[in-house]
């Protein structure tokens, strides 16, 4: 399997994507970001459209919703452009690749956007009262401790473990990762308004998908579940046409957090809820394709260090390097077998999506 589609930095990934899209004859779109990357490089979300402009069926593949996870998501997008299948789409069918929807997080190797927002908790209706997460408020100072020396981290973990003993494992997972709208420096923060990445997503959907009738969306993620396994997670309402469509297209491996069948659990402000609203005119099915990496508590520790760095440290200094590299290796394990599993499964899920929307 040719793994040269993968990259280890944002500029390398962007370059490969733009080259492969140009060579395939795709229509490119550029959505420049106002800030710069760690090497002073320009940041941009880029799109590639393949197929007729007025296609009735469209497969959308998104990378870097969680910035650093873009290293895993970008590779299969580049591979798709390089492989001959992308030149042989069914009639009336198109593919829209959205590369680096959160380019700041991708370039700086963070999960969050430049606003410290988890884009995948940002799609709430900000004109309404925001969801409450009292468990998070209770644990915030331990999830994001002021100091990250061994003693402080051990004390924070002890406090989190005490919460688990008192309230149960599930309650602690809900507190940690369901999303919170009260602590702007914390983890899994949903924001106080639509982020640049959300507004850019909305503009891309309006430009490209206003007329499509059937739309499959695959949002590439890493970090949950067994090492290398790609789980299509579906958060549409259980029993709805959208869930049935997802199962028709992607089969029995589709899981539903709302039914407890997934490595994920119920969450606030997910991207699919925004897509449901923006694409209400179409028959859609949205899955997060989630590739497992390592088991807890490793993920909590790398996020703890990352938030300490951006809240109290110097993200451009020498201390940033090991923290950034640990985050990268957690969400993008540097092993060929892991990349092969990601690539093989992605090819399968993309092909199923194309078949689904191509009728």
- Binding residues for Zn ion, per CB under 5 A? 66, 69, 221
Which of 167, 229 has the CB closer to Zn ion? 229
Angle at the Cα of 359 from the Cα atoms of 215 and 281, rounded to 5 degrees: 30
**Nearest approach, Cβ of 1 to Zn ion (angstroms)?**
23
**Nearest approach, Cβ of 72 to Zn ion (angstroms)?**
10
E-state strands within the chain: 27-36, 42-50, 57-62, 93-99, 214-227, 230-233, 283-292
> Residue 176's closest CA among 70, 328, 304, 332?
304
Residues with Cβ within 8 Å of residue 27, at least 6 apart in sequence: 48, 49, 50, 53
**Nearest approach, Cβ of 218 to Zn ion (angstroms)?**
13
Angle at the Cα of 303 from the Cα atoms of 301 and 309, rounded to 5 degrees: 105
**Nearest approach, Cβ of 283 to Zn ion (angstroms)?**
25
Which of 79, 231 has the CB closer to Zn ion? 231
Which of 44, 63 has the CB closer to Zn ion? 63
Residues with Cβ within 8 Å of residue 121, at least 6 apart in sequence: 179, 180, 188, 189, 190, 191, 267, 268, 269, 270
For residue 346, the number of C-alpha atoms closer than 13 Å in the C-beta half-sphere is 33
Q: Which residue is nearest to Zn ion (CB)?
A: 221
The DSSP bridge partners found for residue 99 are 46
**Nearest approach, Cβ of 87 to Zn ion (angstroms)?**
30
Which of 14, 121 has the CB closer to Zn ion? 121
CA gyration radius for the chain?
Answer: 19
CB 103 within 8 A of CB 44: yes
**Nearest approach, Cβ of 122 to Zn ion (angstroms)?**
13
**Nearest approach, Cβ of 226 to Zn ion (angstroms)?**
16
DSSP state string for 194-245: --HHHHHHHHHHHHHSSS-SEEEEEEEEEEEEEET-EEEE--SPTTSHHHHH
In whole angstroms, give the CA distance from residue 270 to residue 118: 9
**Nearest approach, Cβ of 288 to Zn ion (angstroms)?**
7
CB 82 within 8 A of CB 124: no
Tokens linked to 71: 């290293």
Torsion of CA 183, 195, 96, 53, to 10 degrees: 150
In whole angstroms, give the CA distance from residue 119 to residue 267: 12
**Nearest approach, Cβ of 329 to Zn ion (angstroms)?**
16
The phi and psi torsions of 61 (rounded to 5 degrees) equal -125, 125
> Residue 282's closest CA among 129, 69, 59?
59
């Amino acid at each position: 399997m040719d793994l040269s589609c993968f990259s280890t930095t944002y500029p390398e990934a962007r370059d490969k994507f733009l080259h492969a899209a140009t060579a395939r004859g795709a229509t490119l779109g550029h959505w420049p970001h106002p800030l710069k990357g760690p090497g002073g490089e320009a940041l941009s979300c880029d799109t590639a459209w393949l197929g007729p402009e007025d296609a009735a069926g469209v497969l959308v593949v998104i990378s870097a919703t969680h910035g650093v996870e873009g290293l895993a998501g970008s590779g299969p997008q580049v591979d798709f452009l390089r492989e001959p299948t992308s030149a042989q789409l069914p009639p009336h069918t198109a593919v829209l690749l959205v590369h680096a929807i959160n380019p700041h997080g991708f370039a700086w190797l963070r999960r969050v956007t430049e606003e410290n927002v988890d884009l995948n908790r940002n799609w709430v209706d900000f004109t309404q009262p925001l969801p409450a997460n009292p468990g998070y408020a209770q644990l915030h100072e331990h999830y994001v401790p002021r100091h990250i020396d061994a003693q402080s981290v051990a004390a924070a973990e002890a406090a989190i473990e005490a919460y688990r003993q008192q309230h149960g494992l599930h309650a602690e997972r809900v507190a940690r990762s369901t999303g919170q709208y009260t602590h702007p420096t914390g983890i899994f923060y949903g924001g106080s308004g639509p982020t640049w990445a959300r507004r850019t997503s909305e503009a891309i959907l309006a430009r490209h998908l206003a007329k499509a009738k059937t739309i499959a969306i695959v949002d590439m993620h890493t970090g949950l579940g067994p090492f290398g396994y790609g789980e299509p997670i579906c958060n549409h309402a259980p029993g709805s046409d959208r869930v049935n469509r997802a199962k028709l297209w992607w089969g029995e491996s589709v899981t539903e957090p709302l039914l407890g069948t997934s490595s994920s659990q119920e969450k606030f402000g997910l991207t699919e809820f925004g897509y449901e609203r923006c694409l209400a005119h179409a028959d859609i099915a949205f899955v997060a394709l989630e590739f497992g990496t390592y088991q807890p508590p490793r993920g909590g520790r790398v996020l703890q260090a990352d938030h300490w760095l951006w809240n109290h440290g110097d993200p451009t200094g020498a201390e940033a390097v090991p923290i950034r590299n640990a985050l990268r290796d957690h969400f993008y394990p540097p092993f060929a077998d892991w990349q092969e599993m990601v690539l093989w499964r992605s090819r399968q899920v993309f092909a199923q999506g194309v078949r689904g929307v191509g009728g």
